[in-house]
Amino acid sequence: MKENKKSNGSKIISVIGNVIFYTFILVLLLFSIVNLSAKKEDDVPTLFGRGFVTVLSDSMNGDKKDSFKEGALVFVKDLNDDDKKNLKVGDVVVFWGQLSIDDPKLQAHIIHRIIKIEGNNITTQGDSLRNANTTETNDISRIKALATGHVEGLGKPINYLRTSTGFALFILLPLFILLIVQITILVVNVVNRNKERLRIDHEAEKARLKEEILKELKEKQ
């Protein structure tokens, strides 16, 4: 009974471990696919219209319900032309904009709140008090996505995954380990199957020899 309980316990632990491992791999692969989905520099990485951006500054660290801090991971919805027409003041959006007044070429995705809409001109501002006197006005065509939620602190590890070292350690290495584990399991199963087949053949041969010996003994009697 005790051995059966131990065996069942080991199987349950093994199944749970496999579920966690494969879920981890699946999540990493999805993040990788989303990252690779951006065709142009100013595209927001999305999969089936949903994606995420990482927050690189504290410009949205305010007192509103949907404000967020540096290092957050913000989930976004890709916007088509019809969606952009329905944007309203208070929405948090992602746009491709200039990071520095002194360097027009330094551009990246910026995520700020809409404070004014005039025709196709969208004016945005960060929630932080430091941004109280700073706004940006962009043509609606430069608005890329709408924020739908966020997780604080998750942006930094995701940024690390985007580096060559992070990708190698947390994407390629686990996939390599998974491949090795699967090959090992396959080899063990093949070996065990062959052993069982040999055992069955051996038992059959023993039974055949025993039958022949008994038959010869009967004939001699």
Q: pLDDT tens for the chain, 221 residues: list them.
A: 545 555 566 667 767 777 777 777 777 677 666 666 555 666 777 778 888 888 988 999 999 999 999 999 999 999 999 999 999 999 999 998 777 667 777 778 899 999 999 999 999 999 998 888 889 999 999 899 999 999 999 888 877 877 788 878 877 787 788 788 878 888 888 888 888 888 888 888 888 888 887 777 777 66
Q: Is the pTM of this model over 0.85?
A: no
Q: Is residue 216 part of a domain?
A: no
Per the structure, the count of domains in the chain is 1
Q: Count of CB atoms within 10 A of residue 209's CB? A: 10
Domain span at 119: 38-152
For residue 78, being part of any structural domain is answered with: yes
Dmax over CA atoms of the chain, in Å, equals 115
CA 142, CA 96: separation in Å to the nearest integer?
Answer: 6
Rounded to an integer, what distance in angstroms lies between the CA atom of residue 208 and that of residue 12? 42
Residue 8 lies in a domain: no
Report if residue 174 sits inside a domain: no
**Within a domain: residue 133?**
yes
Under DSSP, the state recorded for 43 is P
DSSP label at residue 45: P
Q: Report phi then psi at 152, rounded to 5.
A: -65, 140
User: SS3 for 91?
Assistant: coil
CATH classification of the domain holding 99: 2.10.109.10
